[in-house]
Amino acid sequence: MHLTYFVAAALFVSAALPANAQIFSDSDARKAILELRARLGDQERALQQKDVELAARLERLETAQRNQLELANQTETLRQEIARLRGQIEALTNEVATLQKRNRDLYGDLDARLKKMEPSSVSVDGRAVAVERSEQAAYEAALAQFRASDFKGALAAFQQFVARYPQSAYTPVAHYWIGSAHYALKEYKSAIVAQQILVDRFQDSTRAPDALVSIAESQLQLGDKRSANRTLGRVIKDYPDSEAAKVARERLPATR
């Protein structure tokens, strides 16, 4: 198309020249036209090459744009996937935290129950012994009543204790407090019976000499000085180095 245009233009120019200006021969004209045609061909090929190059560049740009769009889509997809995974991780983290708290509470409750069931090491009249926690709690509750001067309540509590825990390390001491509660209630005969149980069944108990002194005091309250004298003499004889023996020596004059 370009070549035809330029050839026509050349012919038009040539025809428009005055006759005296047409000094070129036909061969020269043809040569000029051929040269012009060759130049035009070269230009047209150059333009075509340029078109090809531009088309290739355009294709590359379009491909790059498509790649960028695809990359953007992939990036957005990845963002959404990351957000979803983060949500799952947060949910799992909360679930794990809940389970851990539940386990801690469960283990804490179980540990507390086991501790209640495990024996507790306590000192009973200077000796370290193992007792059940429920046993210890029952004894301490009864003793608290005695110390609060609730002698009837303490008496009932200690009697329940020795019935429930006859083999307890606290049992000798419980019998002593039973006798002491009877004495505080002025039930002297019952006090003697209770303390005598301690002396007869638990002769090795550190409370035995104290129980004998308590028996002597009840005997004195009943007016039985002779029995009180014998009882105090037994304390001095059987437990000469005890604190109870010192008390017995001090109380002996009252039995004469």
Residue 7 in contact with residue 33, Cβ under 8 Å? yes
In CATH terms, the fold of domain 129-255 is 1.25.40
Please provide residue 204's backbone torsions phi and psi, each rounded to the nearest 5 degrees.
Answer: -85, -5
- State the pLDDT at residue 113: 62
Whether the predicted pLDDT of 222 surpasses 90: yes
* Tokens, residue 159: 């009697």
pLDDT digits (tens, 9 = 90+) for 228-246: 999 999 999 999 999 999 9
Please provide residue 11's backbone torsions phi and psi, each rounded to the nearest 5 degrees.
Answer: -65, -40
The chain-wide mean pLDDT, for the chain, equals 84
Whether the predicted pLDDT of 195 surpasses 60: yes
CA 72 to chain centre: 44
User: Which residues have C-beta within 8 Å of that of residue 130, sequence separation ≥ 6?
Assistant: 119, 120, 121, 122, 169
Whether the predicted pLDDT of 155 surpasses 70: yes
